[in-house]
Amino acid sequence: MATSKPRITVTLEPRTYDVVSRLARANGQSMSKVITDFLLVAEGQMQRAVVILEAAAGASDQARQGVRRTLERAESALVPALLQAIEQQQLELDELSHESGLDPAEIREHLADARLADSGRGRVAGANRAPSPPVPVTRGVGTPKRAKAKVQKGTRRA
């Protein structure tokens, strides 16, 4: 069957070929259809990459050097801050270890378990979140509600 669409030949690694082949069999499609569908899904990301690469190729050497210098300055500013944060975390871990009598490795394990438990609720442990609003008190300060007198059917209140 003739087509007006352009064709290419693709050479795959044996492992990739096996995956595409199995996926095609599982979906009842041809391997060509599986690869075409995959490329259609990735087309938006590929288009953005092309625009960035074309802009970078067209940029002057001076502009590229400017971007490089900016990135190097950003890195030199970030690295000390990251090292300080890591050192602070280690100090807190050591203090917690000393206070609890637990080994630092045990504390890390407990923290990891807590993060996993929280992630099941769609949150990360320790993440900054807005505090929940206070629950309003609607019955006063510990004063019990008075029970209403029960009225039997067929009797009237005076």
Helices (H) and strands (E) in the chain, counts: 4, 0
Residue 140 banded pLDDT, cuts 50, 70, 90:
low
Q: What pLDDT, on the 0 to 100 scale, is given for residue 17?
A: 95
pTM for this structure? 0.38
Residue 9 structure tokens: 């030949």
**Mutual angle of helices 61-100 and 104-119, in 10-degree steps:** 110
Query: How far is 125 from 117, CA to CA, in rounded Å?
Result: 8
Residues 68-97 pLDDT 10s: 888 888 888 878 877 887 777 778 778 877
* Interval 51-71: pLDDT, tens: 888 887 777 777 878 878 888
Q: How confident is the model at residue 145 (pLDDT cuts 50, 70, 90)?
A: low
Q: What's the full length of the chain, in residues?
A: 158
**Residue 131 CA, distance from chain mean position:** 22
CA-to-CA distance for 121 and 109, rounded, in angstroms? 19
Can you say whether the dihedral through the CA atoms of 114, 115, 120, 126 is positive or negative?
A: positive
**10, 35 Cβ separation under 8 angstroms:** yes
